[in-house]
């Protein structure tokens, strides 16, 4: 008798097994949300929502006409607003038709995969990297090829990317600023990648696309500049989400944007594909309310000064206790090596004292761990001595 659940969902579930297990069945799952727990795991808000976000949602919840809550596609007003805002931010001339509004970056990534991939196609994804590309590809019957970043610096490894490109490769995913390392790739590295993709496209006889996964684009420290791959490689699609900068990932809005440098014919073909692809994904458009609110959301941000303070406090303290920590340039994550090299032992030693980090095993880098800085200052202060004790304990063991 055949299984109830489809093969592709079984494959997607297998790809997410470590995350699912951590979220639902781990020591973290048992303790999540309990008083006294210091939660540095997922990128969720732990303080009151931004007042500007609440005001925008309240204001636009009041209907102004009979079709206020009618079906919405990518509506003209937010699209025009975004084309203008994005053009100014990235220095590229986006037109409203280049932008598909989606339920967050998730929806935009799914849309890019749906529009560009045919059965048997392969996508290169970074290692370490966000843990959901693989399951989304498995559900589409596509191959995810993990390409390691340069060990230590976590720069793009151009030789590894070049070597991984085969006749079935269609998309290379670049995530900048990068989850979990916080790296922001400089222009020179992206230009070298663009040249490589140009050469490799000629070699394999088909056009390679670049998916620039940029949901943390606004979350940068120390005035770090940001260059979108869309400015250096014409066949780039950008995915973005407001969920990170607003710290409200449960209110879903984002977009997929085509690089204006893309040749007209290809750009038009993708513009024409947006609607059909989004319908086929299950009417994958943001809710009406989020579309109305979008212009009010554009200038809002989580508290970067507080986030910077937390980053500096944690990087300083962890280094003092001998941790090997990468100083993040963007995102709200810290990536560090587990003292003693045994990530699971380290995780358990912290968990014994109600401090929870994202274990490296979930990110397929078992000797590392990730700290999410959306925790409160009080959690940071309570947890720091625990990080100190655990490092000392593991060194003595
Ligand atoms: C690298 C990366 N891409 C995409 C997403 C999806 O973002 P959203 O849930 O806002 O759609 C995330 C969320 O964690 C992420 O870290």
Q: What is the pLDDT of residues 319-366, one digit of tens each?
A: 999 999 999 999 999 999 999 889 999 999 999 999 999 999 999 999
Residue 59 lies in a domain: no
Residues 390 and 311 in one domain: yes
Average pLDDT value for residue range 8-13: 95
Whole domain around residue 313: which residue ranges?
7-50+303-396
pLDDT tier for residue 396 given thresholds of 50, 70 and 90: confident
Residue 285 lies in a domain: yes
CA 41 to chain centroid, in Å, comes to: 15
The residues pairing with 356 across neighbouring beta strands, listed in sequence order, are 39
Mean pLDDT computed over every residue of the chain:
97
Q: How many residues does the chain have?
A: 397
| Nearest protein CA to atom 2 of ligand 1, as residue | 130
What's the CA-to-centroid distance between 175 and ligand 1, angstroms? 10
Q: Which of 297, 326, 354 finishes a domain?
A: 297
Residues 15 and 81 in one domain: no
Where b means 16+ CB within 10 Å and e means fewer, 328-356 reads: bbbbbbbbbbbbbeebeebbebbbebbbb
| Closest to 102 measured CA to CA, from 125, 79, 69 | 79
pLDDT at 1 over 70: no
Is the pLDDT higher at 111 or at 396? 111
pLDDT at 397 over 80: no
Distance CA 189, CA 153 (A): 13
Q: What is the dihedral of CA 300, 302, 304, 306, to 10 degrees?
A: 140
Residues 123 and 260 in one domain: yes
Residue 61 lies in a domain: no
Dump pLDDT digits (tens) for 120-166. 999 999 999 999 999 999 999 999 999 999 999 999 999 999 999 99
| Closest to 312 measured CA to CA, from 300, 303, 325 | 325
Residues 173 and 312 in one domain: no
Q: In what order do the strands lie in the sheet with 143-148?
A: 99-102, 254-258, 236-241, 209-213, 169-175, 122-127, 143-148
Q: Which of 260, 277, 297 finishes a domain?
A: 297
What's the CA-to-centroid distance between 19 and ligand 1, angstroms? 14
Residues 196 and 82 in one domain: yes
What's the CA-to-centroid distance between 78 and ligand 1, angstroms? 21
Contact 395, 324 (CB under 8 A): no
Q: Which atom of ligand 1 is nearest to the CA of 249?
A: 10
The pLDDT value given to residue 221: 98
Dump pLDDT digits (tens) for 176-219. 999 999 999 999 999 999 999 999 999 999 999 999 999 999 99
Residue 107 lies in a domain: yes
Residues 141 and 283 in one domain: yes
Portion of the chain with pLDDT greater than 90, in percent: 97
Dump pLDDT digits (tens) for 266-276. 999 999 999 99
What's the CA-to-centroid distance between 7 and ligand 1, angstroms? 25
Residues 368 and 289 in one domain: no
| Closest to 339 measured CA to CA, from 361, 317, 327, 324 | 324
Instruction: Tally the domains of the chain.
Output: 2
- Angle at alpha carbon of residue 46, lines to 135 and 374, rounded to 5°: 70
| Closest to 128 measured CA to CA, from 343, 367, 342, 374 | 367
pLDDT at 75 over 80: yes
Q: What is the dihedral of CA 49, 55, 58, 64, to 10 degrees?
A: -150
Q: Is the CB of 181 under 6 A from ligand 1?
A: no
Residues 34 and 148 in one domain: no
Evaluate the omega torsion of the peptide bond into residue 177 and state whether it is cis, within 30 degrees of 0. yes
The pLDDT value given to residue 395: 82
The pLDDT value given to residue 133: 98
Eight-state DSSP code of residue 254: E
| Nearest protein CA to atom 7 of ligand 1, as residue | 105
Give the CATH number of the domain where residue 313 resides.
3.90.1150.10
Distance CA 4, CA 235 (A): 40
Residues 325 and 216 in one domain: no
The token duo for 65 is 């006409």
Q: Which mutation among 16, 215, 362 tests ligand 1's pocket best, with the greatest number of atoms within 8 A of CB?
A: 215
Residue 60 lies in a domain: no
Q: Which of 238, 265, 297 finishes a domain?
A: 297
Q: Is the CB of 106 under 6 A from ligand 1?
A: yes
Q: Is the CB of 243 under 6 A from ligand 1?
A: yes
Q: Which mutation among 240, 243, 250 tests ligand 1's pocket best, with the greatest number of atoms within 8 A of CB?
A: 243
Distance CA 240, CA 271 (A): 17
Distance CA 194, CA 206 (A): 15
Residue 2 lies in a domain: no
Residue 55 lies in a domain: no
Dump pLDDT digits (tens) for 367-394. 999 999 999 999 999 999 999 999 999 8
Residue 238 lies in a domain: yes
DSSP assignments along 337-386, one per residue:
EPTTS-HHHHHHHHHTTTEEEEEGGGGT-TTEEEEETTS-HHHHHHHHHH
Distance CA 20, CA 240 (A): 24
Portion of the chain with pLDDT greater than 70, in percent: 99
Average pLDDT value for residue range 63-69: 98
Q: Is the CB of 286 under 6 A from ligand 1?
A: no
Q: Is the CB of 360 under 6 A from ligand 1?
A: no
Residues 103 and 238 in one domain: yes
Give the CATH number of the domain where residue 80 resides.
3.40.640.10
Residues 38 and 180 in one domain: no
**231 phi and psi, to 5 degrees?**
-85, -10
Contact 199, 161 (CB under 8 A): no
DSSP assignments along 29-82, one per residue:
HHHTT-TT-EEESSS---SPPPHHHHHHHHHHTS-SSTTTTS--SS-HHHHHHH
Paired sense of beta strands 254-258 and 236-241, if any: antiparallel
């Amino acid at each position: 008798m055949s299984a109830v659940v489809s093969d592709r969902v079984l494959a997607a579930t297998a790809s997410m097994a470590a995350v699912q297990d951590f979220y639902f069945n781990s020591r973290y799952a048992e303790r999540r949300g309990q008083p006294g727990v210091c939660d540095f795991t997922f990128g969720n808000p732990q303080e009151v929502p931004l007042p500007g976000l609440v005001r925008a949602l309240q204001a636009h919840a009041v209907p102004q006409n009979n079709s206020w809550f009618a079906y919405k596609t990518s509506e003209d007003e937010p699209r025009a607003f975004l084309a203008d805002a994005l053009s100014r931010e990235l220095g590229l001339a986006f037109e409203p038709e280049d932008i598909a509004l989606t339920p967050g970056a998730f929806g935009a990534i799914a849309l890019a995969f749906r529009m560009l991939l045919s059965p048997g196609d392969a996508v290169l994804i970074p290692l370490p990297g966000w843990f959901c590309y693989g399951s989304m590809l498995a559900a589409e019957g596509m191959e995810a090829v993990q390409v390691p970043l340069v060990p230590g610096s976590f720069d793009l490894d151009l030789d590894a990317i070049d070597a991984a490109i085969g006749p079935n490769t269609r998309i290379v995913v670049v995530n900048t600023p990068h989850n979990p390392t916080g790296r922001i790739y400089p222009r020179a590295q992206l230009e070298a990648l663009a040249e490589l993709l140009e050469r490799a496209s000629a070699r394999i006889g088909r056009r390679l696309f670049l998916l620039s996964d940029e949901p943390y684009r606004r979350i940068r420290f120390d005035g770090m500049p940001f260059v979108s791959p869309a400015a250096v490689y014409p066949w780039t699609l950008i995915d973005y989400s407001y969920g990170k900068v607003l710290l409200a990932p449960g209110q879903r809005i984002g977009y997929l944007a085509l690089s204006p440098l893309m040749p007209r014919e290809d750009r038009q073909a993708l513009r024409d594909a947006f609607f059909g692809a989004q319908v086929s994904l299950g009417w994958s458009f943001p809710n009406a309310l989020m579309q109305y609110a979008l212009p009010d959301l554009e200038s809002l941000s989580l508290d970067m000064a507080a986030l910077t303070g937390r980053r500096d406090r944690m990087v300083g303290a962890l280094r003092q206790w001998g941790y090997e920590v990468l100083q993040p340039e963007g995102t709200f994550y810290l990536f560090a090596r587990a003292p003693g090299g045994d990530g699971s032992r380290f995780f358990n030693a912290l968990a014994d004292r109600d401090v929870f980090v994202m274990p490296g095993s979930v990110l397929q880098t078992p000797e590392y761990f990730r700290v999410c800085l959306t925790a409160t200052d009080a959690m940071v202060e309570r947890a720091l001595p625990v990080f100190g004790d655990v490092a000392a304990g593991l060194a003595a063991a």
